[in-house]
C-alpha cells in the first residue's frame, strides 16, 4: 500500500489542490538508465515527482524557460523534449537529429537551439511549439553551443575548427564566422559575464578565446604548451568545459591528460599556477559566494571530490561522497551542493560550510543535476 501511495504522489501535479507551488527551489535530476527525470524540491531535500519517456539520456542536459516552468531536455538520441515541471508532463517532443550534444535557450526565452553530431549543424526551434525555425548546416559535428545576449548563439565545429556566432534577432538569421579555433574543438563555454567564449582543443595544444564584446571577434590562443600529448584519450576522460570555474579573476581549467587544475589570469591569459589533484578533472565548479572550487574526476578516481582554495591554489579538502560522482550542482547562494552518485543510485547533499553530508535521496543512475535558478544565467 505504501508503494501505491508513493506512486500516486509522484504522479500528482504540483498545483493540484488548494496550494500554489513556486518553482524557485525546484530542480531536475537526469536518470540516465531509465530515460526519466526526477523532480526535486531543494528546500525540502526531497523527490516530489518523476517524468518518464524521454528517450536516451546517457549524455543529456537541459535548460529552463525564463519563468522556470518548462524544461527543454536535449537527449543523446537527437530528442528535444519540452517538459512542464508543474504538471509533470511531457508537453512536446521531437527527434530532430540522429545524435545531439546539448543545446541552449535564447535570452528572451523564445528560441531553443540544439547542437547536433549527426548530421551536424544547429537547429533552432520555437520554444512554445517546438516548430523548426532555422536549420544551420555545418561541415561536421557541432559542439559547445551557448546562448549569447541579443538573441544569439555561438558554437564550434569539431571537424573544421570553425567558430560561428548566429544572430536570430531579425527576420532572417545572420551567421558570422569568427575564425578558426584550432584542431578538433571538443567543447566550449561562455564566461559568466558573457564576455569571452572559450574553446578547448583536443587535436592540438592550447585553448582559444573569442572576445564577444569586440565588434569583430577573432581567435586568441593561450596555454599553447598544454593539451594533447601522446595517444588519444578515451571520451570519458575529456573534461566538460560547460563547468569551468571563474573565480578570483581567474579561469580554473581541467588539464587534459594530467592530474592538474590550471589557473589562468582572465585579463592577460597567462597561466599563474597549477594544482595537483587526485585524478583527471571533469567538472570544476565555483562555490557561490566563496573562494572555493569543487572538482570531480574521471575513472578510476570518480568516487572523489576535491575542494581547492582559489587564492592559494591548494587542495583544502578531499571527500568521498559515493560511487561514480558524475555531476555537482550548488544551491544558488552556495549553502549546499548536490552530487549525483550514479553507481550508488542516489543523490548526496553536502553542507558547504561544514563539508558534511546532510541528506541523500534515491535516484535511478543519476547524472546531471539542474536547479531552476539556471533559468536566469547566461551561457547555460
Architecture of domain 101-237: 7 Propeller (2.130)
Whether residue 1 is predicted with pLDDT greater than 80 in this model: the reply is no
> Smallest Cα–Cα separation from 374: which of 37, 26, 21?
26
The pLDDT assigned to 28 comes to 97
Please list the residue range(s) of the chain that carry CATH number 2.40.10.
Answer: 245-318
Class of domain 245-318: mainly beta
8, with CB counted inside 10 A (0-12, 13-18, 19+), is exposed
What does the pLDDT average to over 258-286? 94
* Angle (CA) 325 331 333, round 5°: 140
Average pLDDT over every residue of 272-297: 95
The pTM for the full model equals: 0.92
**Non-local CB neighbours of 116 within 8 Å, separated by 6+ positions:** 78, 96, 97, 98, 99, 100, 101, 122, 123, 141, 142
pLDDT single digits (tens) 94-146: 999 888 888 999 999 999 999 999 899 999 999 999 999 999 999 999 999 99
pLDDT band at 238 (very low <50, low <70, confident <90, very high): very low
Q: Residue 257 has what pLDDT? A: 77
135 close to 121: Cβ distance less than 8 angstroms: yes
Flag whether pLDDT at 298 surpasses 80. Answer: yes
Q: Can you say how many angstroms the Cα of residue 26 is from the centroid of all Cα atoms in its chain?
A: 17
Report which of 289, 223, 287 is spatially closest to residue 260, judged by C-alpha positions.
Answer: 223
List the single range of 7-16, 158-167, 271-280 with lowest mean pLDDT. Answer: 7-16
pLDDT surpassing 60 at residue 237: no
Q: CATH 2.130.10.10 spans which residues of the chain? A: 101-237
Query: pLDDT by residue (tens digit) across 22-66?
Result: 899 999 999 998 999 999 999 999 999 999 999 999 889 999 999
CB neighbours of 55 closer than 8 A, spacing ≥ 6? Answer: 35, 75, 77, 79, 81, 95
3-state class of 319 per DSSP? strand
The CA distance from 104 to 62, in Å, is 8
Residue 6: its pLDDT value, please? 44
Q: Calculate ∠ Cα 103-239-166, nearest 5°.
A: 30
Q: What is the mean pLDDT of the chain?
A: 91
Q: Using the predicted structure, report yes or no on whether residue 212 has a pLDDT greater than 50.
A: yes
Check residue 294 and give its pLDDT.
97
Per-residue model confidence as pLDDT tens digits over 343-372: 999 999 999 999 999 999 999 999 999 999
DSSP letter, residue 228: -
C-alpha distance across the termini of the chain, in Å: 41
Residue 36 pLDDT: 97
CA distance 57 to 121: 20
Amino acid at each position: 500500500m505504501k508503494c501505491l501511495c508513493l506512486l500516486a504522489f509522484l504522479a500528482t501535479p504540483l498545483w493540484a489542490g488548494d496550494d500554489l507551488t513556486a518553482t524557485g527551489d525546484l530542480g531536475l535530476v537526469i536518470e540516465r538508465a531509465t530515460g526519466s527525470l526526477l523532480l526535486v524540491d531543494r528546500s525540502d531535500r526531497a523527490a516530489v515527482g518523476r517524468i518518464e519517456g524521454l528517450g536516451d539520456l546517457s549524455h543529456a542536459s537541459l535548460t529552463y524557460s525564463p519563468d522556470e516552468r518548462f524544461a527543454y531536455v536535449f537527449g543523446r538520441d537527437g530528442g528535444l523534449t519540452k517538459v512542464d515541471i508543474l504538471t509533470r508532463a511531457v508537453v512536446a517532443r521531437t527527434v530532430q537529429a540522429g545524435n545531439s550534444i546539448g543545446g541552449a535557450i535564447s535570452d528572451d526565452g523564445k528560441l531553443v537551439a540544439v547542437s547536433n553530431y549527426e548530421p551536424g549543424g544547429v537547429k533552432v526551434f520555437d520554444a512554445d511549439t517546438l516548430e523548426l525555425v532555422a536549420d544551420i548546416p555545418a561541415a561536421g559535428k557541432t559542439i559547445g553551443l551557448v546562448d549569447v545576449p541579443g538573441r544569439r548563439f555561438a558554437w564550434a565545429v569539431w571537424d573544421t575548427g570553425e567558430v560561428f556566432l548566429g544572430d536570430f534577432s531579425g527576420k532572417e538569421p545572420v551567421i558570422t564566422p569568427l575564425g578558426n579555433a584550432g584542431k578538433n574543438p571538443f567543447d566550449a563555454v561562455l564566461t559568466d559575464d558573457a564576455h569571452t567564449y572559450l574553446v578547448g582543443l583536443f587535436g592540438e595544444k592550447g585553448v582559444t578565446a573569442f572576445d564577444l564584446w569586440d565588434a569583430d571577434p577573432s581567435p586568441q590562443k593561450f596555454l599553447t604548451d598544454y593539451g594533447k600529448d601522446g595517444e588519444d584519450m578515451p571520451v570519458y576522460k575529456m573534461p566538460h568545459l560547460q563547468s569551468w570555474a571563474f573565480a578570483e579573476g581567474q579561469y580554473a581549467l581541467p588539464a587534459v591528460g594530467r592530474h592538474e587544475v590550471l589557473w589562468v589570469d582572465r585579463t592577460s591569459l597567462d597561466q599563474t599556477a597549477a594544482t595537483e589533484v587526485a585524478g583527471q578533472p571533469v567538472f570544476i565548479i565555483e562555490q557561490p559566494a566563496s573562494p572555493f572550487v569543487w572538482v570531480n574526476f574521471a575513472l578510476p578516481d570518480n568516487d572523489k571530490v576535491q575542494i581547492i582554495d582559489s587564492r592559494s591554489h591548494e587542495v583544502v579538502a578531499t571527500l568521498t561522497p559515493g560511487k561514480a560522482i558524475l555531476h555537482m550542482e550548488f544551491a544558488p547562494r552556495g549553502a549546499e551542493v548536490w552530487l549525483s552518485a550514479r553507481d550508488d543510485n542516489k543523490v548526496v547533499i553536502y553542507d558547504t560550510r561544514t563539508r558534511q553530508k546532510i541528506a541523500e535521496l534515491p535516484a535511478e543512475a543519476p547524472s546531471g543535476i539542474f536547479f531552476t535558478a539556471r533559468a536566469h544565467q547566461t551561457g547555460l
